[in-house]
Chain A
Amino acid sequence: MSTPLLFWLLVFGAFVIVLALRLTAALIHHLHGRHHIFEAGTEREIVYIPGDPLHPDENDYEDNEYV
């Protein structure tokens, strides 16, 4: 077997193994996460206007808008 082919197989093999491990981990995480295909989001997720604060501020008078 030539050196270029050997080296290519080594790199490609490592890449495929890493990719397979990552995909498996992602799949397991996804299955355990119980993601619903359809679900009702919060009002904030549906009606979001660019410029709205991204995180709730504990010092705000009314925090209900973030719930």
Chain B
Amino acid sequence: MRTTSTFKEHTAFIGTYAAALLGCGATCVRLEKNIGRIASAYGIEVEMTIMPRHIHLFMRDKSSGTSESAVIEPRKMPISFRCNTLLSRLSWEIADGQIEFSGAGAALQRAVSQPPRSKELVTFMVCCASASFCRLFGGDLAAMGVLMLSTCAGFMLRCHLLERKVDIRAVMFLCALVSSVLGATDMLFSIGSTPEIALGTSVLYLVPGIPFLNAFSDVINRHYICAFSRFMDAVVLTCCLSAGLCTGLLVMNAGMFR
């Protein structure tokens, strides 16, 4: 029979795992599956209530009947598909018996403390993605160049402000403002033939796509409270983005304010 201390260690591990998985932007269905998989491997029955700001776990040892309840806050970390993947892989390794409990704790710490990708490379990739979107909407080379410039400025500002823990809503507003002002370069200096496309696509990189997708995933899996919370988060960010864009258009005397 398992000792109480081991059971407590297992439940503490599951709690830390759940906090990390919710913090890195996993959907509710992934949380349920991964936590269920790990708990099952350790001979634990788990019931969970996933709320937007915390997870309530009730765990019961199948062999001894000992139970424990925990309310966990999600770990504060940026959305990361890489961390998400590593944590999912860890759950399978535990379920398949490929990793001991002691090793699992170390693997969990490694997964959540992955060094961030090169900032310069990410900025460049985001600029390329924005320019591609511009081309997709029919923008010419001048519009693509201007868009790369505006995205680079906005994205650098975004990274800088987020590193300094500035509120995400203020960050979205300021980045949208800067990107829209620089996105209006074509219009201001009469460069190229598609200045309105450069302006319109200048804030696309700020659209909170992952929260929207996660919200719909949660709706499909009937986690309505979480879905609504994620959706509202995304809507608020989109409103801040729109406010920044409108201010930029107003200042530049462009678009609908012309």
Contacts and interface: CB of A to CB of B under 8 A. Distances in A.
Interface of A: 2-5, 7-8, 11-12, 15, 18-19, 22, 54-55, 57, 59
Nearest to A15: B153
A2 B102 CA distance: 66
A3 B251 contact: yes
Given A12-B182, A15-B182, A18-B156, A7 B106 contact: no
A55 B110 CA distance: 8
Given A12-B182, A54-B110, A57-B106, A7 B252 contact: yes
A8 B184 contact: yes
Nearest to A7: B251
Nearest to B106: A57
B124 to A, nearest CB: 13
Interface in B88-138: 102-103, 106, 110
B253 A4 contact: yes
B181 A8 contact: yes
A11 B180 CA distance: 11
A3 B253 contact: yes
Contact of A7 (B110, B153, B181): B181
A67 B106 CA distance: 20
B162 interface: no
B194 interface: no
30 contacts: A2-B253, A3-B251, A3-B253, A4-B184, A4-B188, A4-B251, A4-B252, A4-B254, A5-B188, A7-B181, A7-B251, A7-B252, A8-B181, A8-B182, A8-B184, A8-B188, A8-B252, A11-B153, A11-B178, A12-B182, A12-B185, A15-B178, A15-B182, A18-B156, A19-B156, A22-B156, A54-B110, A57-B103, A57-B106, A59-B102
A54 B110 CA distance: 8
Nearest to A18: B156
A11 B253 contact: no
Contacts of A8: 181-182, 184-185, 188, 252
A33 to B, nearest CB: 15
B182 A11 contact: yes
Interface string B190-234: 000000000000000000000000000000000000000000000
